[in-house]
Amino acid sequence: MGFVDLREWLARLEKEGELRRVTAEVDWDRELGAIARRTLEKKGPALLFERIKGYRTGRCTKLVTGVLGDRRLLAMALGFPRDVANPELVQHVMRKNRETIAPRIVPTGPVKEVVVTGAAIDQTQFPVPRWNFREGGRYIHTFSGVVTRDPDTRVMNVGIYRGMIGRKDTTPFLLIKGGQHWGAHFLKYAQRGEPMPVACVIGWDPIMPFLAGSPIPAGVCEWDVMGAYRGEPAELVRCETVDLEVPAAAEIVIEGVISDDPATYETEGPFGEFTGYVSDVPTPRPTMQITAITHRRDPIFQGCLEGTLPGSYSENSVMSSVQRAAIAWNILTAAGIPGVRDVYIHPITNGVNICVQIRKAYQGQAKQIAAALWGSSAAQYRYKHVIVVDDDIDISSYEQIDWAIAHRVNAGAGGLVVFPGIFGSPIDPSTPLHDRDTTRLGTGLWNRVLIDATRNWTFERRAEWDGQPFPPTVRPAPEDEARVRARWDEYGLGDL
């Protein structure tokens, strides 16, 4: 599956009945976000808004959202049937995350059709929504690929970070210095006394946000990994005003610099975060000074509604359910932990909770799994609660996990482990604000939990239990089940 730009992807979605054009006039202020929420609740298609209030004419008149709003759409973007099984999808992502094909630099591309600099720069010329009525402003960067470069190694990183329109040429970001790859770049530039060059890519291949929203290992560029996913080099062009490269066929690129001088900070937040809660309080944060905007003629703006709620999964949640599971599985493989049969993340938790199914090889294996996950930089916002079960439990089923927790967990005998005060998310509403103060701490602090819902092997093995340390379940004998299946219609139960 080769590279597709946003327009090719939308054409494919429309052909498959997975895109709806909204031709009624819609207000960018709150109404558009409420429409997106209701569509997510209904597991609906992507939405292309073609008549946005105040943007019937001008630099940009269209907005698309929801292009990865359901697992079936993500499966399509990865080249699979819409109903692909979880292990197949996750193992594909595991493999591709370890492969690279270097990008190719080209002299120009569609994203250079219009170049805007100086006094003409104005972010409000794009139909940026106020997604939720409680948000502190219009969030222009919710699904953008934010590109930075390590000043020492010159390796680029592409991430997804929230950014809000400040003034017409400034964007304050939630920039975490500890734990995020662009945060590490930012610290290096600050130590040099230099501002950090940044380029924000809006609208391109759907795999861009999928990879940008995942912690690919430091020192590996997401453009290289995208090449592996697509089987060919990504075509990049050099930016106009910063030393970075971006996709030649992107819709919009916003270039600029971010300084560590608090005098340049602007107020950012609150934001309707992936947790389903308003993130925090308005706070002065590092701010991008925009130096150029390049875009295609008649560009399509792309963003996403955050805030995962029961029955309503954001695009970020859908991506995380697969990507964070694949990253975790790779971590466990690299740690040499045997017997991992499946790794599953329920979209509602966005990777904060993770379930691991194992064929248990030894007592203490669940603790080793939790230690490996918690020791990884990928755990910055995720893997707060680790649930480990035996291979007779279907980890995609909340009912089966609940049963395992009810009858295989002894909290006072190692079944529940708390690891307090470790690095974690600065936007978790269950954590006190003083433990989310990134200015003071560099990151957030979490108390992580392991729930070991595997059978305890320290119990005495008993002959009455077939020589096992745990009693057998009460399923009928296989021969009894077979006899009942054979006579099912005879019982008059064939319609069940």
Q: Is 479 exposed, middle or buried (0-12, 13-18, 19+ CB in 10 A)?
A: exposed
> Tokens standing for 241?
């005003």
The Cα–Cα gap between 69 and 318 comes to 7
CA distances from 264 to 147, 170, 176, 257, 261 (A): 20, 10, 16, 11, 6
Residues of the chain with CATH 2.30.110.10: 6-302
Residues of the chain with CATH 3.40.1670.10: 335-453
Least confident among 50-64, 141-155, 304-318: 304-318
Q: What is the mean pLDDT of residues 345-362?
A: 95
**DSSP H or E stretch at residue 446:** strand 444-453
Nearest-5° Cα angle at 443, 173 to 380? 95
**DSSP H or E stretch at residue 223:** helix 222-230
By three-state DSSP, how is residue 309 classified? Answer: strand
Please check the confidence at residue 123 and state whether its pLDDT lies above 90: yes
Mean pLDDT of the chain, nearest integer: 94
- pTM (predicted TM-score): 0.90
The structure tokens 């008993």 sit at 462
pLDDT in tens, 49-80: 999 999 999 999 999 999 999 999 999 999 99
pLDDT, residue 380, reads: 85
Please check the confidence at residue 1 and state whether its pLDDT lies above 80: no
The Cα–Cα gap between 71 and 168 comes to 36
User: Is residue 305 a contact partner of residue 31, using CB atoms and an 8 Å limit?
Assistant: no
The Cα–Cα gap between 180 and 467 comes to 49
Supply the DSSP string of 345-409, one letter for each residue: --GGGTTSEEEEEE---STTHHHHHHHHHHTSGGGSSS-SEEEEEETTS-TT-HHHHHHHHHHH-
Share of the chain above pLDDT 70, in %: 99
pLDDT in tens, 371-416: 999 999 889 889 999 999 999 999 999 999 999 999 999 999 999 9
pLDDT, residue 425, reads: 87
The Cα–Cα gap between 191 and 288 comes to 18
Domain with residues 335-453, CATH architecture: 3-Layer(aba) Sandwich (3.40)
Q: What is the mean pLDDT of residues 11-39?
A: 96
Superfamily of domain 6-302 in the CATH hierarchy: Electron Transport, Fmn-binding Protein; Chain A (2.30.110.10)
Please check the confidence at residue 216 and state whether its pLDDT lies above 90: no
pLDDT in tens, 232-258: 999 999 999 999 999 999 999 999 999
206 prior amide bond cis, ω within 30: no
DSSP strand pairing (385-390 vs 139-141): unpaired
Q: What is the mean pLDDT of residues 357-366?
A: 96
Q: What is the mean pLDDT of residues 261-277?
A: 94
- Going by C-alpha positions, the residue among 91, 94, 87 that lies closest to residue 391 is 87
Question: Would you place residue 103 in the very low, low, confident or very high pLDDT band (cuts 50, 70, 90)?
Answer: very high
The Cα–Cα gap between 438 and 452 comes to 31
> Tokens standing for 2?
């080769």
